[in-house]
Structure 1
Amino acid sequence: MGKNKLARFAENKILENVYQPTREEAMAGYHLAGKWRERVFKNPNSIVLELGCGKGEYSVGLAEAFPNKNFIGIDIKGARFWYGAKEALGKGLKNVVFLRSQIELVDCFFAKDEIDEIWITFPDPQIKYRRTKHRLTHPTFLDLYRKILKKDGIVHLKTDSEFLHGYTLGILQNSNDEIISTHHDIYGALEYDPNTPLLREIKTYYEGLFSAKGKTITYIKFRLK
């Protein structure tokens, strides 16, 4: 492991906007579940999650654009979201924090109806059949999101994977959930959902790499029932 990565891990331990609970702490009932507004953000505003946040570009970008909302970037790779945590502190953003965890534990960290929206940005599409249950839009994961999302909560999926895009549409079409809008190429489309601001304006590190290779970027906005 490189020295820079070790240094980021070490600094994450002291950054005020980084939370790194153990699996045992999560499974035992995380002490902030149901209390993120009160104890962390100290305001009554809505909470938006970014799952698999990588370097945190979306979490930081949205927090900067929407100061009246709270954002939590979640990823197991702390050396990556260190970049976002440092940027947020440098910009003085008090409405964004980062949580180091596996996504399958997400319901351990939040209470019922505590979350207003979820963003899933460029997750591993887990193309192999034996990895199906690891896709972040697999029905098992959607059921986890239902536990913490408010009624009719919104989920956004932004991906370069046409496979995951199609898979997710199929899952949603076979459920009682509502597909609000879908785009097979957000940059090639003349217009997109005006109620989803910054869909094109905020780009993750991986989005930049994918776009440079000529891959189209797809998007689905849906409501879980």
Structure 2
Amino acid sequence: MPKNKLQKFERVRHLPNVTLAEEETTPSPQAFPWHHPRYAGMQRILELGCGKGEHSLAFAAASPQKLCVGVDYKSHRMCVGAEKALAQGLSNVFFLRTHVERIREFFQPHSIDEIWLTFPDPLWKNRKSMQRLTAAPFLDDYANLLVPGGSVHLKTDCQRFFGFSCDSVKRWGGRVTAISENVYDGGPDAPDTAGAVSAYERAALSRGAAIRYLAFTLG
């Protein structure tokens, strides 16, 4: 393993804005910092598969009245975002290391206003359709977490995954509220991401890929 990655694994363990969930624990959601009374009344944004947390950081900086939580299993990646948040003095953003399959263990029901899926693995080659983050089991989880009228936002460069997601939402009974085949075309449904562009997105753009966007509710 590269030395730099090992150093990040060690550093992230001591960052005050990072929670490293243990595999064997079944925590109470109230135990986590984002449920502290000081954050009562704040809108909450959850970014799943956050990587280095570019979107979480941008949302937190643009909207101090909102609380952002980035979730990923790669702690060396979120170390980058967590350290940037501390350097920028952002007290309204946290990071959680866990599998998305466990997400309901860490948040109270109907406590999230927005869920962002930023370039999730389409898992297309492996044909693991039920493990895709827009498959029905995950939509069940999102419906449990979202406040009434809360929304899910997907960004992806994979056309087939985008089509799968649109179909999955409709089969579940969700309502599509915005859809764009290319967010950089400037159409009316382009998302407001507070200027966030992740490293993955930049790489996709350099390949000439279209960035697709889907927003939906699960009420």
TM range (shorter): over 0.9
Counterpart in 1 of 2:22? 22
Q: Give the secondary structure class of the aligned counterpart of 1:207.
A: helix
CA shift digits 1:178-219 (9 cap, x unpaired): 10010001112x32337x4236x2101100000000000000
1:123 has 2:117 as partner: no
Specify every segment of 5 or more residues in structure 2 that has no aligned partner in the other structure, as ranges.
none
Displacement of 1:147? 1.6
Counterpart in 2 of 1:191? 187
Displacement of 1:33? 5.7
Among candidates 86, 89, 114, match of residue 89 of structure 1: 86
The 8 Å contact of residues 39 and 67 in structure 2, kept in 1 or not, is answered as no
Among candidates 43, 46, 51, match of residue 54 of structure 1: 51
The 8 Å contact of residues 186 and 217 in structure 1, kept in 2 or not, is answered as yes
Following the alignment from structure 1 to structure 2, what is the Cα–Cα distance between the partners of residues 95 and 36? Answer: 9
Distance 1:88 1:35, change over 3 A: closer
Q: Which letter does structure 2 place at the counterpart of 1:14? A: H
Q: Give the secondary structure class of the aligned counterpart of 1:203.
A: coil
Distance 1:129 1:13, change over 3 A: closer
Displacement of 1:43? 4.1
- State the identity as a percent: 37
Say which is worse superposed, 123-132 or 83-92, in terms of deviation.
123-132
Q: Which letter does structure 1 place at the counterpart of 2:134? A: T
1:158 has 2:149 as partner: no
Q: TM-score, normalised by structure 2?
A: 0.94
Q: Displaced runs of 4+ in structure 1, greater than 6 A?
A: none
Q: TM-score, normalised by structure 1?
A: 0.91
Q: Which letter does structure 1 place at the counterpart of 2:121? A: D
Counterpart in 1 of 2:200? 206
Q: Spell out the pairing of 1:209-224 with structure 2 (5 A cutoff).
A: 209-224=203-218
Distance 1:89 1:223, change over 3 A: same
The 8 Å contact of residues 136 and 172 in structure 2, kept in 1 or not, is answered as no
Following the alignment from structure 2 to structure 1, what is the Cα–Cα distance between the partners of residues 76 and 33? Answer: 26
Following the alignment from structure 1 to structure 2, what is the Cα–Cα distance between the partners of residues 99 and 139? Answer: 23
Specify every segment of 5 or more residues in structure 1 that has no aligned partner in the other structure, as ranges.
none
The 8 Å contact of residues 134 and 169 in structure 2, kept in 1 or not, is answered as no
Equivalent pairs counted in the alignment come to 219
Displacement of 1:120? 0.2
Following the alignment from structure 1 to structure 2, what is the Cα–Cα distance between the partners of residues 131 and 198? Answer: 29
Displacement of 1:67? 0.7
Counterpart in 2 of 1:173? 170
Q: Which letter does structure 2 place at the counterpart of 1:192? A: P
Following the alignment from structure 1 to structure 2, what is the Cα–Cα distance between the partners of residues 192 and 24? Answer: 45
Displacement of 1:36? 2.3
Following the alignment from structure 1 to structure 2, what is the Cα–Cα distance between the partners of residues 224 and 136? Answer: 14
The CA RMSD measured in Å over matched residues stands at 1.7
Following the alignment from structure 1 to structure 2, what is the Cα–Cα distance between the partners of residues 35 and 99? Answer: 10
